[in-house]
Amino acid sequence: MSPRLGLVVGVLMLTSRAALAFCPSYTPKETAGGQNCGVDPAPGTNPTIPQWNLVFAKVAPGKASWLTDGPSIGDIGSGCGKPNPPTTVPAHFPCHVLKSIAMVETGWRQFCVPDTPAASVGAPERTIISFDCGYGIGQVTSGMHVGENPSFDRQRVVSEPTYNLATGTLILAGKWGATKCVGDNNPDVVEDWYTAIWAYNGLAYSNNPSNPNLTPGRGVYNPSNGGSYTYQEKVLGWMEHPSANRWTSLAVAYPNRADVGGSGAPPDLPEPSCDSPTDCTKTRIVHASVCDGVPMMDAGVPPKDASVPPGVDAASPPPPNPDASTAPNGAASADGGCSCREGSSTPSASWLFLAFVMLGTRRRKR
């Protein structure tokens, strides 16, 4: 074996071993003195894909659908004067948004057989719990640490897939309310969730599409190809590249990077219309989505705001923040809620899964 080939094989073996470490299940004892998780994992069997689709169909319409199977949740804003006046509506969520976030977070896992940390390896199938106390399919962190007393039932977050996903939407709704408008702030429009999805992972400059550490000239994220992308770009990319027929492919539109600005806290954004995160030479319409069994539709929103020149991505995007890891002026008001942190030095479940896909060690993507 040549030295070069040996190096490649060695890297692949190391990456493969890391990629297989996809089921963290940390106990409070194993995080004491650090993250201090507040609830033990619960035993359980992970739902099948058809069973998960039923869960998403129940959760996406909101409280009127999930009833006592999820926590209480208030209304959310709708309308941003473009042209609809601001109002409130019962919280509800595009199915593609929920499914793709759950894919990035855990690969649709509430329960799995632990393979990390070392003390938990070999335990029976139980709740997936990340090192930073992200619990279950939605990787709920807020309220799950020692001393926290959230309004929701923490034990049900740990033990019930539907309750966990619904709690994730409670956090996502908070991000929707804490961030600026995208388009007309229509919760039925997938693309209008762009900044709220960003905030679900943390409003930081690491997730700004103009961050120079990202893959330059990148197209739409494809989990089979990898590359360095923002969190929200990964979520939107999964929508277009579904795994194991979990949903119908949806080619979403992206905002113009020039509109996003150069910080971790984007301003009001025009309706997204770009063909990819870095290219507006072609445009796309925006979309609404519903869960399986109901046809998708475009949202009937004009394909681009008049303030965005046709076919332009502002050839010179905003200059990078001097500190590419954090937002300037401490702008991170909507941080928290999700386990993965794009700038973390600790491999997340999402990163490990991406390496797993790139190696092709299994045919079906998680």
d(CA 35, CA 94): 32
pLDDT tens-digit readout, 331-350: 333 444 554 333 333 334 34
210-214, 316-320, 349-353: segment of lowest average pLDDT = 349-353
Domain map (residue ranges) of the chain: 18-359
pLDDT at 115: 94
- Rounded Cα distance between 270 and 184, Å, is 8
Q: Which of 15-24, 33-42, 61-70, 179-188 has the lowest mean pLDDT?
A: 15-24
Q: Residue written as tokens 């094989």?
A: 9
pLDDT band at 354 (very low <50, low <70, confident <90, very high): very low
The arithmetic mean of pLDDT across residues 6-21, rounded, is: 34
Query: pTM (2 decimals)?
Result: 0.80
pLDDT at 302 over 60: no
- Higher pLDDT among residues 18 and 241, named by residue: 241
pLDDT tier for residue 63 given thresholds of 50, 70 and 90:
very high
Q: What angle do CA 28, 32, 37 make, to 5 degrees?
A: 40
Beta bridge partners of 283: 274
Check residues 179 and 17 and name the one with the higher pLDDT. Answer: 179
- Rounded CA-CA distance 229/348 in Å is 14
pLDDT value at 202 more than 70: yes
- Among positive and negative, which fits the CA dihedral 83, 209, 94, 42? negative
pLDDT of residue 290: 86
Three-state SS string across the chain, please? CCHHHHHHHHHHHHHHHHHHCCCEECCHHHHCCCCCECCCCCECCCCCHHHHHHHHHHHCCCHHHHHHHCCCCCEEEECCCCCCCCEEEECCCCHHHHHHHHHHHHCCCCEECCCECHHHCCCCCEECECCCCCECCCCECCCCECCCCCCCCHHHHHHCHHHHHHHHHHHHHHHHHHCCCECCCCCCEHHHHHHHHHHHHCCCHHHCCCCCCCCCCCCCCCCCCCCCCCHHHHHHHHHHCCCCCCCCCCCCCECCHHHHCCCCCCCCECCCCEEECCEEEEECCCEECCCCCCCCEECCCCCCCCCCCCCCCCCCCCCCCCCCCCCHHHCCCCCCCCCCCCCCCCCCHHHHHHHHHHHCCCCCCC
With pLDDT > 90 as the criterion, what percentage of the chain qualifies? 71
For residues 4-30, give the mean pLDDT. Answer: 55
Report which of 176, 5, 16, 160 is spatially closest to residue 97, judged by C-alpha positions: 176
Residue 218: is its pLDDT beyond 70? yes
Predicted local confidence at residue 294, as pLDDT: 52
Decide if 174 contacts 73 (C-beta within 8 A).
no
The lowest-confidence range among 75-84, 176-185, 274-283, 335-344 is 335-344
Average pLDDT value for residue range 141-156 = 96
Range with the lowest mean pLDDT among 2-11, 39-48, 177-186, 276-285?
2-11
> What average pLDDT score do residues 66-89 get?
97
Mean pLDDT for all residues in the chain: 81
Examine the pLDDT at 110 and tell me if it is beyond 50: yes
In this prediction, residues 117-130 reach a mean pLDDT of 95
Mean pLDDT of 109-138: 96
Q: How confident is the model at residue 22 (pLDDT cuts 50, 70, 90)?
A: confident
